[in-house]
Amino acid sequence: MFAIVANNMSTCSARHSVVESDIGLVENKRVVIKIMKTVSGINRKILLTGLLCVVGYPVCAQEQPDVHPYLANRFILQGGAFLPKMSLDISIDGSVTGEHPPIDFEGGVGSTRDDEIFSAEFIWRFGDRWSFRGQHFEGGRNSTAVLEEDVEWGDAIFEQGSFISGETDLQITRFFFARDFSKSLQHEFGIGLGLHRMEFGASLTGDIVVNGQPFVAETRAVSAVAPLPNIGTWYAYSPSEKWVFDVRLDWLDVSIGEYSGTLINAAVGANYQVFKHVGIGLKYSRFSLKFDIDKTDWHGSLKLAYEGLYFYLSGNWGAR
């Protein structure tokens, strides 16, 4: 009997070992299956990444293009010499004598000599798409001449053959608020609204005749201060981190208070980056305006144009 019991216990122990072995095999299979699934998932991810790199090669294999700091930085400052050819015609109608022909300040009563004008520009980019831009240039000129014909200035006449001196002064300050619509780091295209603040003055000094009465060394002067709103656009392209090419245009054709006429401010040029924060540039610029003026002390017209080369140094800082 004891033999039978021992035999049964031996049989149970063997069966228990078989069960444990089967459980171990099942657990091992589960681990193997889990590992295979993980490896399969990793392989699928690797395969998917490879396909994306093949289809979208520029994204995976090509870095973002290097561009000129003019497009890559938040702050740009330019300053230099504007070497324009100037033309200036003004008319000052008289209360008695009526409308007068324009006075040619450059060819008729002034020097045809062209002087350099200081000019500066500034750009501040904020946010992803917005920028504030400013520009300022000013110039003045003194000249003398012997009149080859009578010059009518209001009710006064500067007679032919008399010696006169002329003076002109101009200051233009431009403010421009704009949005960039480009989708590439190498390109920038935008549209905005701006304001040109113009300060202009002109005078003649010499012997005059007023209503038949002569006066010696008299001065006649006019001036105008006008805020002139405008719309504008620009485009810039940078083929490399050293070069950028740009063009811009501001335009106005409206009647505002005492002034009515047209304004154009345009430029096209290139800039070369010499050092990390310093560049040199050259632009061909044109600023022109043609306005009729109806003020108490000046009823007439102003036609002015500055056109020529603008050499400048540029500074940049503040990565976008």
117-126, 139-148, 222-231, 294-303: least confidently modelled range: 139-148
pLDDT at 77: 98
Whether 8 shows a pLDDT value over 50: the answer reads no
Q: With cut-offs at 50, 70 and 90, classify the pLDDT of residue 60.
A: very low
What's the mean per-residue pLDDT of the chain?
81
Helix, strand, coil proportions of the chain in percent (round to 5)? 20, 60, 20
Q: State the Cα–Cα distance between residues 24 and 1, nearest whole angstrom.
A: 35
Q: How far is the CA of 137 from the CAs of 170, 227, 235, in angstroms?
A: 8, 15, 22
Give buried/exposed letters for 193-204 (b at 16+ CB in 10 A, else e).
ebebebebebbb
Q: Look-up: residue for tokens 């310093």?
A: 278
Whether 221 shows a pLDDT value over 50: the answer reads yes
pLDDT at 193: 97
* pLDDT 10s digits, 262-291: 999 999 999 999 999 999 999 999 999 999
* pLDDT 10s digits, 105-142: 776 665 545 567 889 999 999 988 999 999 999 887 88
Pick 8 or 107 by higher pLDDT.
107
- When pLDDT is averaged across residues 187-205 and rounded to a whole number, the result is 94
Task: Name every residue whose Cβ is closer than 8 Å to that of residue 135 and which is 6 or more positions away in sequence.
Answer: 119, 120, 121, 122, 172, 173, 174, 176, 265
34-43, 186-195, 225-234, 297-306: least confidently modelled range: 34-43
Q: With cut-offs at 50, 70 and 90, classify the pLDDT of residue 198.
A: very high
Whether 48 shows a pLDDT value over 50: the answer reads no
Q: With cut-offs at 50, 70 and 90, classify the pLDDT of residue 296.
A: confident
Structure tokens at 40: 């399969």
Say if CB 243 and CB 272 are below 8 A apart: yes
Angle at 85 between CA 311 and CA 250, to 5 degrees: 70
pLDDT at 212: 81
Pick 213 or 120 by higher pLDDT.
120
